[in-house]
């Protein structure tokens, strides 16, 4: 097991290094530069001063080595666009808000997704199933940039329960969490329904029924546990993408999260921000996938992490 862990961690580091290298070369291949702005007045000398300040006057291999060196010290560098804060500050300031919303959205998605999936599966081809599936199709089809203004319009303007936007109290987090959760609820519902239907047709379920065990105990003890694996698989990337913030929802609700840096960084050609956010997201994704792999073995003892143990 410890062998496995060491191997996995090394693999994770190598993966990250490959991602850094690829991102570094790709982003310098995009045309345009961070200092291009509409103002025409910037003389060449000022541009040279700026380039020198951010080491952009060095050859790319030198810049690459410099970056890796800083990265080893967990220093993601300064932001070219924002003078006040480096990339580390941006991520540490914004990650709290993004992760908070992400965690709430994932919770909502899990609870309602699993619940709706089970209800649909147990009432297959009855009206409850159709309602749940209709909701699921809507959830997949309606993008968050439609959902968010609708929520604002009905729950913040027509009925003034929640604030329109900005950040502060828990009430501020409700609408964005709902907007974020809507899509994932739909996906989880569909996964859960499909796999639940399959599980409920298994012989061991029939055996349990024949033993006279009440239905709700069968569902909880034998049904959910066997049916939840596909949902857990989906959960890995979902967690990574939700807790690192989303551009659209954070923009609409004015959330001080990190979602916007993923997009703005590229528009501004803010190289350290592009690399920093990519590394951060990749690291979270890699770790989450690792944790999910471990979670498999907890949920289903038939799954082993290493071939040797089989």
Partner 1 sequence: MKLQKGWRLLSTAALVAVLAVTGCSQQAAPAQPGSSGGATGQAPQADSGGQADMTAMLKLNLKTEPPSLDPPKGFDSTSNEVLNATMEGLARLDKDHKPQPAMAEKWTVSEDGKTYTFTLRDSKWSNGDPVTAQDFEFAFKRILDPNNAFPSAFLAYYIAGAEEFNNGKGNADGVKVKAVDDKTLEVQLKAPAGYFLHILTQPTFFPVNKKVAESNPKWSENASTLVTNGPFKMEDWVHDQSVQVVKNDGYWDKDSVKYAGIDWVMVNDENTQFQMYKTGQLDMVQTVPNDMKKKLIDSGEAKVESEASIYYYRMNTKMPPFTNVNIRKAFALAIDRQTLIDNVVQGKQAPALAHVPFGFPEPTGGDFREKGGDFIKDNDIEQAKALLKKGMEEEGWTTLPTVTMSYNTSDAHKSVAQVLQEMYKKNLGVDVKLENKEWKVFLSDQRARNLQFSRSTIPADYGDPVNFLELFVTDHPGNRINYSNKEYDALVEKIRNTADETERFQLMHDAEKIFMDDMPLVPIYFNTKVFMDQENVKGIIRHPVGTLDYKWVEIGKK
Here the tokens at position 94 are: 């914004």
SS3 label, residue 125:
coil
Q: Does 83 bind partner 1 (CB under 8 A)?
A: yes
Nearer to partner 1, 83 or 309 (CB): 83
270 alpha-carbon distance from chain centroid: 22
Cα→Cα distances 102→23, 266, 273, 275, 294, Å = 25, 23, 21, 22, 21
- 3-class secondary-structure state, position 169: coil
Phi, psi (degrees; rounded to nearest 5) at 19: -60, -45
Taking CB under 8 A as the criterion, the residue among 2, 29, 38, 125 binding partner 1 is 38
- If one asks whether residue 307 binds partner 1 (CB under 8 A), the answer comes out as no
Nearest of 234, 239, 224 to residue 299 by alpha carbon: 224
Asked if residue 43 binds partner 1 (CB under 8 A), the reply is yes
Considering the rule CB under 8 A, would residue 283 count as an interface residue with partner 1?
A: no
106 binds partner 1 (CB under 8 A): yes
Based on CB atoms, which residue is closest to partner 1, 129 or 244? 244
CB of 119 to partner 1, least distance (A): 17
Phi, psi of 305 (to 5 degrees): -75, -35
Q: How many CA atoms lie within 13 A of 143 on its CB side?
A: 6
Find the binding residues for partner 1 in span 248-277 (CB under 8 A).
Answer: 251-254, 256, 260, 267-269
Q: Considering the complex, what minimum distance in angstroms separates the CB of residue 248 from partner 1?
A: 9
Contact indicator for 231, 185 with CB cutoff of 8 Å: no
Return the residue of 46, 62, 68, 303 that touches partner 1, per CB under 8 A.
46
Rounded Cα distance between 42 and 116, Å, is 59
Residues that bind partner 1 in the complex, under the rule CB under 8 A? 30-33, 35-46, 49-50, 52-53, 81-85, 89-90, 93-94, 100, 103-104, 106-108, 110-111, 149, 152-153, 156-157, 160, 163-170, 172-173, 177, 220-221, 225, 228, 251-254, 256, 260, 267-269, 298-299, 301
């Amino acid at each position: 097991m410890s062998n496995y862990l060491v191997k996995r961690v090394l693999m994770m580091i190598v993966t990250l290094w490959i991602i850094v290298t690829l991102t570094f070369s790709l982003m310098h291949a995009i045309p345009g530069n961070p200092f291009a702005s509409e103002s025409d007045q910037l003389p060449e000398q000022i541009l040279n001063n700026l380039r020198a300040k951010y080491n952009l006057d060095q050859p790319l291999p030198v810049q690459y080595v410099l970056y890796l060196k800083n990265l080893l010290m967990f220093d993601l560098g300064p932001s070219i666009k924002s003078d006040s804060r480096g990339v580390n500050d941006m991520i540490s300031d914004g990650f709290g808000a993004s992760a908070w919303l992400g965690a709430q959205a994932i919770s909502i998605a899990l609870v309602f997704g699993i619940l709706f999936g089970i209800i649909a599966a147990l009432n297959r081809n009855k009206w409850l199933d159709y309602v749940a599936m209709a909701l699921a199709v809507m959830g997949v089809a309606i993008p968050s940039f439609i959902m968010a203004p609708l929520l604002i319009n009905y729950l913040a303007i027509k009925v003034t329960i929640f604030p329109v936007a900005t950040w502060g109290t828990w009430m501020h987090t409700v609408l964005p969490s709902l907007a974020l959760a809507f899509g994932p609820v739909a996906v989880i519902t569909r996964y859960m329904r499909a796999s639940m239907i399959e599980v409920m047709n298994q012989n061991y379920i029939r055996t349990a029924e024949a033993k006279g065990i009440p239905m709700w105990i069968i569902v909880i003890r034998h049904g959910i546990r066997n049916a939840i694996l596909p949902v857990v698989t989906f959960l890995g990337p979902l967690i990574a993408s939700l807790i690192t913030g989303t551009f659209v929802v954070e923009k609409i609700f004015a959330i001080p999260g990190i979602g916007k840096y993923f997009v703005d960084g590229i528009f501004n050609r803010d190289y350290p921000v592009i690399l920093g956010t990519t590394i951060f997201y990749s690291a979270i994704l890699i770790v989450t996938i690792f944790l999910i792999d471990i979670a498999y073995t907890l949920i289903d003892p038939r799954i082993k992490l290493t071939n040797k143990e089989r």
